[in-house]
C-alpha cells in the first residue's frame, strides 16, 4: 500500500501515523520528495482500512498495491476453481445452465419446468422460495413450502437445486438444498456471509446493484475466510443512469474477475435486463465473454398466456437459447 502525504504534513503527525502502522505489524518505508512524502507500507495490509487512511488530514491519497483478498485471489491459486455439486461441475472449462421459474408456485409448475429445462440441457434447477420484494405488500414467496417443492422436483428430475436465502436464521431450511444463493441486496449482509462461511454448501453470490468488482470479491472472501471455498460468482447487472434495461449488464466484469480470481463466474441476463426478448442475445454475449454458466428464468404457464414475454422465457424459447449457446461454445 502506498500512502501519499499532503504537502507540509507536520512531522509529528507523520510519526504518529508511522508508529500506529508499526503497531499493526506494518513496516513503513518513507520516501521524501521535493514536494511530497510517500509512505510505502510493507507487510500484511489486508486488515488496513484504505478509507480510514484516506480520511486522515495529512494524507493526500492512498493506493493499494495488490488486492485486499487472499482466498479468492488468483495469485495464490492460479488454477481455475471447479465447483462440484454432486457431479455437476462449474468452472475450469465446465459450463452449466441454471434455469427455472422466478417463484415456485405449485408441484405441477416446478416439475413441468424442471423436466423441460432438463431436456433442453440445463444442469441445475433454480426456483424462488424466499422472494426479496421492494414492497411489503407484494407476494413474498412460498418460503419453506417452496423449498419442499424444489426438493420434490429434484427427486423427479435428478437436477441439483439452488434457491435464495434471505436471513441466516433460515439456514436449517436449506439443509437439503444443493447450492445456496445470496441475492444482490444481501451481497454486503456480512453477518449472513459469515454464517455461510461455516456451511459446507456451494454458494452462488450475486453482485450487488452498486458494488464494484473489488467489493464483490471481498464478499466472496468473507465466506471463504470462514472455511467455505465453494463460491460461484454471478454478474447480474449494475445500476446506472440508463433506463432502457432494468440494469446495465457489465460483461467486462467477466475478464476482469477471471484475471483477479480463480472462482467461476456465471451471468444472469434475465434479471440484468428484465425483458425476455433480450435474454437470448445477452446470453450469447455472456458466453462469448467467457462466462462459466448462465442463470435463466423459465416459466411454464399453459393455462394463461399472461406471462409470455415477461422476464422469463417459455420452455421453447429456452431450448432455442440452449442450442444457440452450444454453437457459440463450440466456436470459442
Which 202-221 positions form the footprint of a copy of itself (CB under 8 A)?
Answer: 208-210, 212-215, 218, 221
**Interface residue with a copy of itself, options 161, 287, 295, 322 (CB under 8 A):** 287
Grid cell in block for residue 86? 454432486
Grid cell in block for residue 123? 444442469
Neighbours of 68 (CB within 10 A): 17
Choose the stretch contacting a copy of itself; rule: CB under 8 A; options: 38-46, 117-125, 148-156, 174-182.
Answer: 38-46
Choose the stretch contacting a copy of itself; rule: CB under 8 A; options: 37-45, 89-97, 104-112, 227-235.
Answer: 37-45
With binding defined as CB under 8 A, does residue 317 bind a copy of itself?
Answer: no
Choose the stretch contacting a copy of itself; rule: CB under 8 A; options: 57-65, 78-86, 115-123, 150-158.
Answer: 57-65
Any idea which residue has 421492494 for its cell? 134
Q: Are 233 and 257 in contact (CB under 8 A)?
A: yes
Minimum distance from residue 160 beta carbon to a copy of itself (Å): 25
213-225 and 190-197 are packed helices; what angle lies between their axes, rounded to 10 degrees?
40
With binding defined as CB under 8 A, does residue 310 bind a copy of itself?
Answer: yes
Where in 71-130 is the site for a copy of itself (CB under 8 A)?
A: 75
Q: CA–CA separation, 255 vs 291, rounded Å?
A: 9
Where in 242-271 is the site for a copy of itself (CB under 8 A)?
A: 242-246, 248-256, 259
Please state whether beta strands 203-206 and 231-235 pair in parallel, antiparallel, or not at all (unpaired): parallel
Q: CA–CA separation, 95 vs 264, rounded Å?
A: 10
Residues near 114 by beta carbon (within 8 Å), at least 6 away in sequence: 100, 125, 153, 154, 156, 157, 159
- Which residue's CB is nearer to a copy of itself, number 154 or number 236? 236
- Which residue's CB is nearer to a copy of itself, number 133 or number 155? 133
Where in 167-196 is the site for a copy of itself (CB under 8 A)?
A: 167-170, 185-186, 188-194
Q: How many residues bind a copy of itself (CB under 8 A)?
A: 117
Amino acid at each position: 500500500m502506498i500512502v501519499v502525504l499532503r504537502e507540509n504534513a507536520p512531522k509529528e503527525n507523520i510519526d504518529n501515523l508511522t508508529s500506529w502502522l508499526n503497531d499493526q505489524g506494518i513496516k513503513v518505508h518513507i520516501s521524501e520528495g521535493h514536494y511530497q512524502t510517500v509512505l510505502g507500507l510493507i507487510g500484511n495490509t489486508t486488515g488496513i482500512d484504505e478509507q480510514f487512511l484516506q480520511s486522515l488530514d495529512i494524507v493526500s491519497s492512498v493506493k493499494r498495491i495488490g488486492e485486499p483478498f487472499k482466498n479468492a485471489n488468483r495469485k495464490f491459486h492460479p488454477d481455475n476453481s471447479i465447483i462440484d455439486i454432486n457431479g455437476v461441475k462449474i468452472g475450469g472449462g465446465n459450463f452449466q445452465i441454471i434455469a427455472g421459474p422466478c417463484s415456485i408456485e405449485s408441484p405441477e409448475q416446478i416439475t413441468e419446468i424442471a423436466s423441460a429445462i432438463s431436456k433442453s440441457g440445463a444442469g441445475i434447477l433454480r426456483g424462488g422460495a424466499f422472494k426479496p420484494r421492494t414492497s411489503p405488500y407484494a407476494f413474498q414467496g412460498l418460503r419453506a413450502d417452496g423449498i419442499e417443492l424444489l426438493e420434490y422436483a429434484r427427486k423427479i428430475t435428478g437436477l441439483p437445486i439452488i434457491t435464495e436465502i434471505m436471513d441466516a436464521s433460515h439456514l436449517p431450511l436449506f439443509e437439503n438444498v444443493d447450492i445456496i444463493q445470496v441475492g444482490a441486496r444481501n451481497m454486503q449482509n456480512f453477518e449472513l456471509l459469515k454464517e455461510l462461511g461455516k456451511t459446507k454448501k456451494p454458494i452462488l453470490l450475486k453482485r450487488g446493484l452498486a458494488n464494484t468488482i473489488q467489493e464483490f470479491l471481498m464478499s466472496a472472501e468473507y465466506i471463504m475466510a470462514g472455511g467455505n471455498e465453494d463460491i460461484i460468482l454471478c454478474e447480474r447487472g449494475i445500476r446506472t443512469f440508463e433506463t432502457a434495461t432494468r440494469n446495465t449488464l457489465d460483461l467486462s466484469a467477466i475478464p476482469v474477475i477471471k484475471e483477479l480470481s480463480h472462482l467461476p463466474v456465471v451471468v444472469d441476463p434475465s434479471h440484468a435486463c428484465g425483458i425476455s426478448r433480450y435474454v437470448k442475445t445477452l446470453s450469447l454475449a455472456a458466453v462469448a465473454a467467457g462466462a462459466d454458466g448462465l442463470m435463466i428464468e423459465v416459466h411454464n404457464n399453459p393455462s394463461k398466456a399472461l406471462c409470455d414475454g415477461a422476464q422469463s422465457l417459455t420452455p421453447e424459447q429456452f431450448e432455442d437459447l440452449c442450442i444457440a449457446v452450444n454453437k457459440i461454445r463450440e466456436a470459442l
